[in-house]
Amino acid sequence: MTSDPASSTARSGLRRDGEALAAPLPPLLADAEHLASTMLLGDHGRRRPGMGEEFWQYRPAMANDEARLIDWRRSARSDMLYVREKEWQAAQSVVLWVDGSQSMGFTSGKYPPKGDRARMLAMAIAILLLRGGERVGLTGQAVPPRRGDIQLLRIADGLLGADDAGADFGAPDVRGILPKSRALFISDFMGPLVEVEAALTEAADLGVRGALLQVLDPAEEAFPYDGRTVFESMGGGLRHETLEAGGLRDRYLDRLADRKARLSELARITGWQMLTHHTGDSAQSALLWLYGALERRR
C-alpha cells in the first residue's frame, strides 16, 4: 500500500463511489457450480445444508441415509430418527481484470472517462462479493483473491495502480486465475481481438467462467464526427486520416457491430456472458447485470 496522499484520496474516492453504487444490493454470493473441485472452504455459511462446520438443522432421516449419519442424541429424544446437517460453507474465488490502458481514458466530454466507470463497477462488484464472503482479487500476482474488508483497500490500490501507461489498448491478463473460479473482464475491447480470444480460451481451459463487460463512450457508438479529420489512438500509436469523417460513419458502425457480435460469440462458446455498457447510461443497470451474471444460480 502506498502512502502517497493523492493516491489515498483517489482510493477512498473510488471506494466511496463503489460503496454508494453497491449500497442498494444485497451481498453477492457468486455462482460456485463446480464446488467439489473448487477448493477452499470458507467460514461463510451459504444458508443451505452442505459441507461445513456449523450446525444447520436436524432433518428426519430418509431411507437412503446411511446409519452413521443419524444423530443418535437427537433421535433419542423422540420416536423418529434424525440426521444432523451442517451448513454449506464454501467460498468462491472471483478475479477481476479492469483495462487500464490509455484507451480507457477516452471521454467525449459530457461523460466520465470509460476507465472511471469501469473501476467503479469493479469496485462495486468487489464490495458486494466481499460482503457475501467470497474471495475477490485482481488478475496478476499483485492482489490474489482473499476475504475481508482489508481486501477492498488492496483491490482499490490495485485498480488505481494498474494503469499500464503507454499501451494504447489493453489485453486481459489471465495470470493468477485459479482453476474453476470466476472472472470478470472490464474493458472497451477496442484493441486487437486476438489477445482477448487467447485469454478467453485459456480461461475456459482452466474451467473459469465469468463475464465480459464492454464499456463504451456514447460517442464511440454514434461517431458524431464530420469534415476532414485525423483520428489518433489515445496513445498516438495509430492514426487514420479522412477527408470526410461523416462518410465513414456507417462503415464504422458496421465494424463496431461486427466486433460486438464477435465478442458475444466468443463469450457464448466459452460459457461466458457479455454486456456492452455505455458511460452515458446508469452504472446501476450495469451493476445489476453483473450481479445477475455472477450470482449463484439455484
Partner 1 sequence: MLVLGPIAFAAPWVLTALAVLPVLWLILRAVPPAPRRRRFPGVMLLLGLRDDETQSDRTPWWLLLLRMLAVAAVILAFAGPILNPRTAAEPGRGPLLILLDGTWADARDWAARIDRVEAALGEASRTARPVSIAVTTDLPAGGAEFQAADAWRSRLASLAPAPWAADPDTLAGWTRAQPDGFDTLWLSDGLAREGRDDALAALQDKGRVRIFESPRAVLALRPPVYLDGLIEITALRARESGALQVPVAAMGLDPTGAERMLAQTEASFAPGARQAELSLSLPAELRNRITRFEITGGRSAGAVSLTDDALRRREIALIAGREDREGLQLLSPLHYLEQALEPNADLIDGDIADILQANPDVIVLADVARLTGAETEDIADWIDRGGLLLRFAGPRLAAADLTDDAAAVLLPVRLRAGGRTVGGAMSWGEPKALRPFPETSPFYGLDIPAEVTVTSQVLAQPDPDLPERVIAALADGTPLVTRQRLGAGQIVLFHVTANAEWSTLPLSGLFVQMLERLSVAARVGTETAEDLAGTTWQAVEHLDAFGVLAPAGMSEGLDGSTLLASSVGPALPPGLYASEDQRRAVNVIGAETELAPMVWPAGVPVEGLEVARETRLAGPLLVLALGLMVADVVASLLLSGLLGLRRTGTAMVLLAGLLLSGPGPLHAQDADLLPVDEAAAIQAISEVVLAHVITGNPAVDDTARAGLHGLSRTLFARTSVEPGPPVAVDLETDELAFFPVLYWPVTPDQPRPSSEAYARLNRYLRGGGMILFDTRDADLAAMGSETANTRKLQDLARPLDIPPLEPVPEDHVLTRTFYLLQDFPGRHARGPLWVEAAPPDAERVEGMPFRNLNDGVTPVVIGSNDWAAAWAMDGQGRPMFPVGRGYAGERQREMAYRFGINLVMHVLTGNYKSDQVHVPALLDRLGQ
Binding site for partner 1 (CB under 8 A): 103-104, 106, 169, 188, 190-192, 217, 220, 223-234, 238-248, 251-252, 255-256, 259
Nearest C-alpha neighbor of 183 from the set 158, 213, 161 = 213
> Which grid cell sits at 261?
457480435
For partner 1, which is the closer residue by CB, 91 or 219? Answer: 219
Sequence-ordered list of residues with C-beta below 8 angstroms from that of 148, at least 6 positions apart, any chain: 130
| Nearer of residues 5 and 109 to partner 1, judged by Cβ | 109
- Phi first, then psi: what are they for 13, rounded to 5°? -65, -45
CB of 195 to partner 1, least distance (A): 12
Distant-in-sequence contacts of 266-269, Cβ < 8 A, 24+ apart: 266/196, 266/197, 266/200, 267/200, 267/212, 269/204
Closer CB to partner 1, 59 or 255, in the complex:
255
C-alpha cell at 86: 451442517
> In the bound complex, what is the minimum distance in angstroms from residue 258's beta carbon to partner 1?
9
Q: Given the complex with partner 1, which of 18 and 115 has the nearer CB atom?
A: 115
Tell me how crowded residue 276 is: count the other CB atoms within 10 A of its CB.
18
Spatial separation of the C-alpha atoms in residues 77 and 70, rounded to whole Å? 13
CA 97 remoteness from chain centre: 7
Shortest CB 13 distance to partner 1, Å: 24
At closest approach, how far in Å is the CB of 283 from partner 1?
20
CB of 102 to partner 1, least distance (A): 8
- Closest approach, Cβ 37 to partner 1, in A, equals 39
Please report how close the Cβ of residue 229 comes to partner 1 at its closest, in angstroms.
5
d(CA 201, CA 71): 47
Contacts of 79 (CB under 8 A, 6+ apart): none
**Cβ partners under 8 Å of residue 24, min gap 6:** 284
**Phi, psi (deg, nearest 5) at residue 257:** -65, -40
Pick the closer one to partner 1 by CB: 205 or 258: 258
Provide the minimum distance between the beta carbon of 241 and partner 1 in the complex, in angstroms, as a whole number.
Answer: 7
* Structural element, H or E, at residue 84: strand 82-89
Which CB sits closer to partner 1, 75 or 229?
A: 229
C-alpha cell at 155: 483491490
CA distances, 170 to each of 33, 161, 225 (Å): 30, 14, 25
Q: Is the dihedral of CA 142, 9, 284, 42 positive or negative?
A: positive
State which residue, 115 or 158, has the beta carbon closest to partner 1: 115
In this complex, which beta carbon is closest to partner 1, that of residue 246 or of residue 292?
246
Map residue 294 onto helix, strand or coil.
helix
